[in-house]
Structure 1
């Protein structure tokens, strides 16, 4: 899969890339470039930029000099961080505790990416950390937890793993739907009402970010939603999963 960049408007570019799992299958990867009100830029997630995508990014960002930060929002997406730090040495790198442990050669910011301090620093973005499930699960195979980001100006939601577009729907953008990451049940915290906490969080998020138009998923592609479709799709999937998750 060759990398591509999509201009979603209002200063948001979705970067779709490749990620080969187990040396066999390309499950895809993503990053995003966002232009701030200051005229400077931030990335969501790290990705090794090459070819035409790299050229376009460098053209937009004054050869990279206007990139002020990289926000690495998924604790288990660490493969491209070191290269991104080499490509944008002047940028501040934010990550989770696991990023700091897995890629110690980077001069990580003191504030963790999921902190209130980072959210306050980038007011063009809205952040939401799932409740009821682990952000960094004890089992390295459980990746349902991630920091979700919404860019109201472009109506774009950026999601690593927590929600996904089922493969059968990728070819039918007219009727997009949503699914939960397959490890969601395993990601539930060992505490009372964890399932209810997660479902209530997701339902509230559907209403709060009801204006989502573009869904950028790490491994399930970029799809568009019509007015009200994101809200109804997320509410529907949570309503369908609530009984199983709350009984866990």
Structure 2
């Protein structure tokens, strides 16, 4: 799989990259580039840019000088952070507490990426942290938790793992358009009604972000929805999963 960059309009670009599981199977990964009202740019997630995609990004961002920040929104997506910091040394790097411990060579901001301070700083974006599940699960193999980001101007959503689309086009004929991450049940907090809290959060998010057009997810094919399609697909996914999640 070669890296690709998609211009989704209104100052939002999604970059679909390569990530080989065990060094063999390419399950893909992503980052997104957002132009702010100031003219500066922020990345959502880190990725080692190469070849034509790198040239394109550098042209857009004044050879990287206009990249103001990198927001690393998934606690377990840490592989490319160090290289990203080398590529954009003037940018402020935001991450979770796990980013700090896993990639200590990066000069992380004191403000965590999921903090209110970051949300207020980047008002062009909307953020949502799942309820009822761990953002940073005690089990390193459980990746359902992440900070979700929406760019209202382009009607684009950037999501790592929490929600997924079929990873390969051939699967779209037999799988739904959207799915909850397969480790969601394992990610539930050890609290009363955690499953109910999570499902209620998903339902509210589906309503609040119903006009989403571009669904950009890690390890997944991009999905383009008509208005209301994202809401419908997400409600269908949580309805199917709800009995098992609330039984936990």
- TM-score tier by shorter-chain length is over 0.9
Distance 1:221 1:87 in 2: 27
Query: CA separation in 2, counterparts of 1:75 and 1:224?
Result: 26
Residue 176 of structure 1 and its aligned partner are, at CA, apart by 6.6
**Contact 2:168/2:221 (8 A) holds in 1:** no
| Secondary structure at the counterpart of residue 221 of structure 1 | coil
Alignment of 1:1-248 (within 5 A): 1-167=1-167, 177-248=177-248
Q: Paired residues, what number? A: 247
Aligned 8 A contact 2:134 2:145 in 1: yes
- In 1, the alpha carbon distance for the partners of 2:186 and 2:176 equals 26
What is the CA–CA distance in structure 1 between the aligned matches of 2:235 and 2:157, rounded to whole Å? Answer: 16
- How far does residue 243 in structure 1 lie from its aligned partner after superposition? 1.2
Answer whether contact 1:170 1:223 (CA < 8 A) is retained.
Answer: no
User: Which structure 2 residue ranges, 5 or more long, are not aligned?
Assistant: none
SS class of match (1:124): coil
C-alpha contact (below 8 Å) 1:144/1:161 kept by paired residues:
yes
TM-score (norm 1): 0.97
Aligned-pair distance for 1:114? 0.3
Q: Sort the Cα spacing of 1:226 and 1:232 in 2 relative to 1 into closer, same or farther, 3 A.
A: same
TM-score (norm 2): 0.97
CA distance in 1, matches of 2:199, 2:229: 18
